[in-house]
Amino acid sequence: MLDATVFDEFLATTFFIDNSTMPRMLVLWKSPSGRLPRSFYTDQQGEATAASTMRAFLQRVASGEDMGEYEGYVGFPARFWRKAKGYVPPLALLDVLPRFTFVSIFGVFALWLLWKIAVYGLDDDDFRTTTELARAADRARKAQ
């Protein structure tokens, strides 16, 4: 139990729970091995009003049906996704995709961008195939 009126700033900054949406349930989890970062699970607004919905939420958490959010930088994508779904509710339809799908897409884009920066200013002539290089070497030998 946590008094939301006393810890309202802590709940808002750490777990993104607004005091106006109370009562809410928050489950903290740490992996037994300690290798994974700590995570937390929050219920949907209104689930903590009846014992049956509270029990269902806890069973989903225990069985792994609900996805926890990691704390720190590792959890940034999940927090960003939850905030984006708050602004654009139809994005919730994309929850069927594997976790961190958009992070991997962003990673591929970042690698492509780094490649473009690395080869900026180079012409297509700078990228020759091995066959073209072999022909150029043969021509140079024949010219000697």
C-alpha distances (whole Å) from 55 to each of 31, 50, 51, 59, 137 are: 22, 9, 6, 6, 76
**Mean pLDDT of successive 10-residue segments in the chain (144 residues)?**
73 74 79 73 79 87 80 79 85 83 86 88 67 84 84
Supply the pLDDT for residue 1.
64
Q: Which three-class secondary structure state does DSSP give residue 50?
A: coil
This prediction's pTM: 0.53
Please give the pLDDT value at position 111: 94
At residue 128, the pLDDT reads 66
Which stretches of 2-144 are DSSP H helices? 8-10, 51-63, 76-87, 101-118, 130-143
Give the pLDDT of residue 78: 80
